[in-house]
Each structure stands twice: as C-alpha cells, then as structure tokens.
Amino acid sequence: MKAHIALLALTALAGAHLVQRERHHRQRLDLVAANRQERWLTMIMSRPEIAEEWKPEDMSAQEYSALMSANLALGTLSLRHRLGVDSTEQMRFHTSYLMSIGCVRRYWAHFGSLREAGAVHGERQLGTVNDALANAYRTARRERENADAAAI
C-alpha cells in the first residue's frame, strides 16, 4: 500500500472516530440533563409544597403535579427518540397513545406552545417530536369532539 493511501485511510478513520466520539458525548449530556429533569419533576410530583410554589397562578398544585407527570412521560419519549432507541414511527405511535390520556392532553393544551418555542432551531429531532405531539393532540381533540357530538 502506498504511503499516501494509508495516510488518507488513517485520516478518514480518525475523522469517523471524532464524529462518533462527539455523538456519544452529546448522548451522555442528554442523559445527564434528562436525569436532572426527572429528579426535579419527581420532586414536584411528590412534594405538594414545591408544586404550590412553581405552579402557574391559574392552576392548583394537584393539577400542576398531574401535568408534570405528563411532562415526564413526554420527556422520556423525546429522549428515547433522540438517542435512537425509538424510530420515528415508534415515537409517533407512542405520542398517539399518550394523547389518549387526559393529563397529557391537558399538559399539551397548557404548555405545548412553550415546549415548541423551547425547541432549539436546527435540532431536527426535537422538532420532529413536537410536530408528532401537536398532530396527536389535534387528532385526539378532534376524536373527542366527534365522540361528544355523537353522544348528544
């Protein structure tokens, strides 16, 4: 093998290694941040006095705790998709199921726009998850309205 071909192959291998290392570093950071968020949400859900301090003014601490449990479920869903554990199709299935749960729909109705605004521009996976959540919410709301109209 000629030296320049070997050097080119070595350079390509080193570049691929750096890309993979950076990807793993981002995944570790995602996991650390998710762990901190999970601990925070668990504290809000288990300690009413903290929920009372952090809740919006127009909401009870009990309702805020319920909505934060939905936030935890949606955050876990988003993390699984970002890490590649769930495909986009699996994530869409899970969003549809989660939107069949009342507290998840209430969470999205109250905090969905904030969640969408907080998605970093250029972070394709966050946009994909938020789009799937918004679509699932609209579908669930429409189905609920149709069921209510049929019951009348």
Name the strand (E) or helix (H) holding 55.
Answer: none
Q: Average of pLDDT values for 70-90?
A: 92
Residue 134: how many other CB atoms lie within 10 Å: 17
What pLDDT is attached to residue 105?
96
Kindly report, residue by residue over 11-53, the tens digit of the pLDDT.
Answer: 877 787 777 888 778 878 888 888 899 999 999 999 999 999 9
Q: Give 3-state DSSP helix, strand, coil % of the chain, rounded to 5.
A: 85, 0, 15
Q: For 113-139, what is each residue's pLDDT tens digit? A: 888 877 765 555 567 888 999 999 999
Distance in angstroms (rounded) separating the CA atoms of residues 91 and 94: 5
**DSSP letter (8 states) at residue 101:** S
CA distances from 72 to 10, 21, 64, 67, 88 (A): 44, 28, 12, 9, 19
**C-alpha dihedral (18, 24, 30, 34), degrees to nearest 10:** -160
More confident residue, 36 or 151: 36
Our CA angle for 65, 68, 74, nearest 5°, is 155
* Mean pLDDT for the chain overall: 87
Residue 77 CB neighbours (<10 A):
20
